[in-house]
């Protein structure tokens, strides 16, 4: 049930587009628990997604 860094980064990216299955989430969590590189990638990916959403919301907001 071990996950490589390559598999973990793919799962993190896939998780942006779809809901991961239970087995995928458990494997990813276990990997993130032991790998700080992938944890950093996960944190950065989440930050970028949030920033992109906020920028899109500001663009859609009516101009005053």
Write out pLDDT tens, residues 15-35: 999 999 999 999 999 999 999
Helix then strand count (H, E) for the chain reads 3, 0
Confidence check: pLDDT of 53 > 70? yes
* pLDDT, tens digit, 9 for 90 and up, residues 9-20: 999 999 999 999
Residue 3 CA to residue 41 CA, distance in Å, equals 15
Arithmetic mean of pLDDT over the chain: 93
């Amino acid at each position: 049930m071990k996950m490589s860094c390559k598999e973990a980064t793919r799962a993190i990216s896939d998780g942006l587009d779809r809901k991961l299955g239970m087995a995928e989430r458990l494997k990813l969590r276990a990997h993130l628990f032991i790998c700080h590189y992938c944890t950093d990638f996960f944190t950065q990916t989440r930050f970028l997604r949030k920033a992109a959403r906020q920028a899109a919301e500001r663009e859609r907001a009516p101009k005053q």
